[in-house]
Structure 1
Amino acid sequence: MINVKVSLRPLVSKVNLPTVLKTTILPGDSIERLFIATQVGEIFYIGNGVIRTFLDIRPRIIKLGDSELGVSGSGYDERGLLGLAFHPEFYYNGLFYLHYSVAETQGPGALPEPFMPNPCDPRTLNLRWINRETQYDHIDTVEEWILQSNGQPQKRRTLLNLRRPFLNHNGVNSLNFSPETGKLVLTTGDGGSGYDPFNLSQDDMEIAGKIIEIDVVKNTFTYNPPVVTRFNELPAPIQETLAVIAKGVRNIPGISFQRFNNQYIKYAGNVGQDLAESIFSFVDYKPIPVTQLVQASLMNSEPDQEGFINFGWRGWEGAFPASIIRGCSANPTLDEKTMAYYNEAVKTSVRRLQPLTSYFHKDPRPDKFGGTALTGVQAYMGNGIPDLMGSVVFTDLARAEESQSSVRGVLAYTRVRTDCKLNDFSVIKTDYNFGSQSAYFVNLGTNLDQTRLYLGVYGSMKVTDFNQGTVFEIIP
């Protein structure tokens, strides 16, 4: 693949954890504005070179950096304001949507200690999430808001209230409207911890670990849905607004749509466990209405999964069976090894989607990099950087095993191969000098026609370290 070099042009600095970057045109305006949503609950936009506050919901956000899950006091957190999406008709109707972790919903977590599967102990491979009303970490909500004629945003209704087992894997950039269907697409992580302890991502009834379509036009009079974890716990009018596009998701930094002739290629990244980060692409899919999933569950039957997307987790980590292999025989002379999630790997081996590309946490090749976590995936259709035209660009939080004292994130790209086989990727070189400060690449955004790319960078991994964020435009 061609070596590409770009420049980073700073647009805004000293912002808190920039988690979502989107553009839209405000009602009565004529220029596309860049909106920046921060993990702590602020939404800014850039107008005439000045950063302005659009909405501040910090009081509604759970206290960040304060969790019972093993990393308490570390300042690291994956909760907060995670999703922002503007309705396709936002200019006319003022509707936009938020996904965030709700203040004062902190629970003890679903397990008393960090989880690690043991292939030699089947009990660790078949855990169940019990006492869900009390054993959870927090509650996430998806809400509809409206920009009123006086310029003030106001909440209209709640679409979903989701109880989450752990603090991590809640998705990020988790709300996007499909240009294909006009529906709101919600991406949920598998619930967190590591290795998906309860295998929520493969369970058709679990809301965790899925890509979900929400028809925001249907049943607009349901204002306060119950707090749930499973589809069959939702009232029928809400079930009727939902369909599931994909399952087998570990954690996902949103979904990107790329117009190609009269179709859209969908790109979605799946954050890896210990081995690899993966990007998936698909064109055709057949979502399953939640009402059908619930009906199949009641009948104890299998729903028709033709055209349904499965990323394979927890049996597969991208293109590879989920690892953890150990010798379990009591007889040391026998060279027998057991793979933790062998059954899941076999069960999903045929049905799963192969990734477009995978990159490793350790990669000895000189022109590659060892990744940490995939944080953004965006199609690029601009001609300003000709070598990237038509490709999918992605970001990784930080190079693994960075030799320097200061950490650097990574920008890279790949393309869909005409034979649909696994493709390679290439690192994009950047010329920006971050000096001695660390630079974690926390997200990637694009404008409406995908001709511009925006990069969110943070100087720390602690949500308690404020004002260390910068938003860049990626330019030739």
Structure 2
Amino acid sequence: MIKVKVSLQPIVSKINLPTVLKTAILPGDSTERLFIATQVGEIFYIGNGTIRTFIDIRPQIIKLGTSEQGVSSSGYDERGLLGLAFHPEFYYNGLFYLHYSVAGTQGPGALSEPFKPNPCDPRTLKLRWTNRETQYDHIDTIEEWGLQTNGSPQKRRTLLNIRRPFFNHNGVNSLNFSPETGNLVLTTGDGGSGYDPFNLSQDDMEIAGKIIEIDVAKNTFINNPPVVTRFNELPVPIQETLTVIAKGVRNIPGISFQRFYNQYIKYVGNVGQDLVESIFSFVQYKPIPVTQLIQASLMKPTPDLEGIINFGWRGWEGAFPTSFIRRCTTNPALDEKTIAYFNEAIISSVKRIHPITSYYHKDPRPDKFGGTALTGVQAYMGNEIPNLTGSVVFTDLATESQPIRGGLAFTRVSADCKLNDYSVIETDYNFGSVSAYYVTLGTNLDQTRLYLGVYRSMKVTDLNQGTVYEIVP
């Protein structure tokens, strides 16, 4: 593939860790503004060269990076303000949507010790999440907000309250509107830990590990929905607003839509476990109404849901059967790789879709990078960087480099839909001696501009270490 070089143009610096970068036109305004959501709960927008506060919900966000009840005290955290989406008619109706981890909901977590599957011990392969009302980490909420006549935002209603088993894998950039259906798309991770201990991602009744559409035009008249983990625990009026697009999700930095003639290509990145990060695409799919899903499960414990997209996790990590890695005792220079869930890999092998590209945590090829975790996937339709036009661009948190640098790359859907290679995008920006984690990737409304969120630390408790750049020729 063609080599691409870009520059990074700083837009705003010394902000907290950015989780969402999007543009919108405020009611009564004429300019498309860049909105920046931070993990700690602030949303800013850039207006006339200055940064202005749109909303600040820091008091409503769970205490991040603390040592309370099972969360590491290292300052690393995957909770917080995770999703922001503007209604397609935001300019006229002022509606927008938030996904965040709720203050005061800290629990002890679903397991008392770190999980690793052991193929020789069936108990580790069939764990169940029990006592969910007490054994959980936190609660995530999805809310609808609106601008009042004076322009100040106000919460209107809660759409979902979801109990999460662990602190990680909650998704990021998790709310986006589908240009096909007009519905709000929620991407949820598998609930966390590692290796999806309870196999929530493949269980059709679990909210975790899915891509869900919410019909926000339907009013359920339920102002405070119950806190749930499964679809069948929801009141029927809420069930009737939901459809499921996909399952088999490990963790996911949102969904990106690319118009192609009269249809849309959907791009989704699935964060890997130990081996590989993967990007998937699909055009045709058959969303399953949650009411139908529940009905089918009553008839048959594991219904065959034709048309639903399956990314394969936990049996598959991208194009590979999920494995865990340990050092070979006889040869420390080599690794032993054991298939973690052999039977599940076999069962789901023909039901899953294949990635369009993958990149690896270790890659000896000179023109590639070894990555850590996928943090953003965006289609690019602009002409300013012609070699990227029509491609899908993605970011990795931290590549194998010193000092630490994130990774920026792109690929295209191959005509035969087979696994394609990717190309690294080189940047000429000098970060100096500090770390530069690439934490999020965003785009404007017509996908002609790309924005990159960079943080100098892995710790959300290290404040004001962030810079947002525009990726330019």
TM-score range relative to shorter protein? over 0.9
8 A contact 2:141–2:160 mirrored in 1: yes
Find the aligned partners of 1:128 and 1:77 in 2 and give their Cα distance.
24
The residue number in structure 2 matching 1:305 is 305
> C-alpha distance in 1, partners of 2:118/2:303?
32
Tell me which residue corresponds to 2:412: 415
- Find the aligned partners of 2:224 and 2:338 in 1 and give their Cα distance: 47
Distance 2:156 2:220 in 1: 10
Structure 1 segments of 4+ aligned residues over 6 angstroms from their partners: none
The aligned counterpart of 2:4 is 4
SS of the aligned residue for 1:9 comes to: strand
Question: Counterparts in 2 of 1:252-263, with a 5 A limit?
Answer: 252-263=252-263
TM-aligned CA deviation for residue 306 of structure 1? 2.0
The answer to whether the 8 Å contact 2:274/2:324 transfers is no
TM-score by length of 2: 0.96
Q: 3-state SS of the aligned residue for 1:202?
A: coil
Q: Give the 3-state SS of the residue equivalent to 1:344 in structure 2.
A: helix
Specify which of 425, 428, 433 is matched with residue 428 of structure 1.
425
Q: Counterpart of 2:389?
A: 389
Give the Cα separation in 1 of the matches to 2:338 and 2:427.
44
SS of equivalent residue, structure 2 residue 130? coil
**Could you tell me which residue of structure 1 aligns to residue 369 of structure 2?**
369
Given that 1:456 and 1:469 are in contact with CA atoms closer than 8 Å, whether structure 2 keeps it comes out as yes
Residue by residue over 1:120-150, the C-alpha shift from the partner in whole angstroms, topping out at 9 and shown as x without a partner, is: 1111111000000000000000000001110
Q: Is contact 1:44–1:54 with CA below 8 Å preserved after alignment?
A: yes
Deviation at 1:302, TM superposition (A): 4.5
Q: Secondary structure at the match of 2:198?
A: coil
Any conservation in 1 of the 2:250–2:313 contact (CA below 8 Å)? yes
How is 1:21-420 mapped onto 2 (pairs within 5 angstroms)? 21-68=21-68, 72-324=72-324, 339-400=339-400, 402=401, 404=402, 406-420=403-417
Give the secondary structure class of the aligned counterpart of 1:219.
coil
Q: Is the CA contact 1:99–1:174 (under 8 Å) kept in the aligned structure 2?
A: yes
Question: Kindly tell me: are residues 325 and 398 of structure 1, through their superposed partners in 2, closer, same or farther at Cα, counting changes over 3 Å?
Answer: closer
**Stretch deviating more after TM superposition (95-104 or 70-79):** 70-79
Separation in structure 2 between the aligned mates of residue 439 and residue 85 of structure 1, nearest angstrom: 26
Q: State the SS of the aligned residue for 1:52.
A: strand
* Contact preservation (8 Å) 1:212, 1:242: yes
The CA deviation string for residues 152-205 of structure 1, in whole angstroms up to 9 with x for no partner, is: 000000000000000000000000000010000000000000000000000000
Q: How many matched pairs? A: 465
Contact 2:176 2:185 in 1 (8 A): yes
Q: Return the alpha-carbon distance in structure 2 between the equivalents of residues 215 and 42 of structure 1.
A: 26
- 1:475 matched to 2:463: no
Q: Which residue identity is paired with 1:62? A: I
- Provide the C-alpha distance between the structure 1 equivalents of 2:393 and 2:26, rounded to a whole number of angstroms: 27
Structure 2 letter corresponding to 1:411: L
Does the CA-based 8 Å contact 1:68-1:109 persist in structure 2? no
Which runs of structure 2 are paired with 1:437-448 in the superposition (5 Å)?
437-448=434-445
Identity in percent: 84
Displacement of 1:338: 6.8
CA distance in 1, matches of 2:69, 2:448: 41
State the 1:223 CA deviation.
Answer: 1.1
RMSD between superposed Cα atoms in Å: 1.5
* Separation of aligned partners in 1, 2:338 and 2:452: 42
Counterpart-to-counterpart distance in 2, 1:443 and 1:325: 28
- CA displacement 1:408-452 (0-9 Å, x = unmatched): 001000000000000000000001000011000000000000000
Structure 1 residue 66: Cα displacement: 1.7
Q: Which residue does 1:332 correspond to in 2?
A: none
Change (3 A) 1:374 1:208: same
Quote the Cα distance in structure 1 between the aligned partners of 2:68 and 2:234: 28
1:460 corresponds to: 457
Residues 220 and 238, structure 2, Cα contact 8 Å, conserved in 1: no
Given that 1:397 and 1:442 are in contact with CA atoms closer than 8 Å, whether structure 2 keeps it comes out as: yes
Take 2:210 and 2:69, find their aligned partners in 1: how far apart are those partners?
Answer: 23
**8 Å Cα contact 1:70-1:113 kept in structure 2:** no
Contact 2:83 2:100 in 1 (8 A): yes
Distance in 1 separating the partners of 2:28 and 2:185: 27
The 8 Å contact of residues 269 and 374 in structure 2, kept in 1 or not, is answered as yes
Q: Which amino acid is the alignment partner of residue 459 of structure 2?
A: K
Q: Distance in 2 between matches of 1:71 and 1:184?
A: 30
- Show structure 1 runs of 5+ residues with no match: 327-336
CA contact (8 A) 1:69 1:113 kept: no
Q: Is the 8 A contact 1:7 1:475 kept in 2?
A: yes
**Post-superposition offset of 1:45:** 0.1
- How far apart are residue 307 of structure 1 and its match? 1.7
Q: Extract unaligned runs of 5+ from structure 2.
A: 327-336
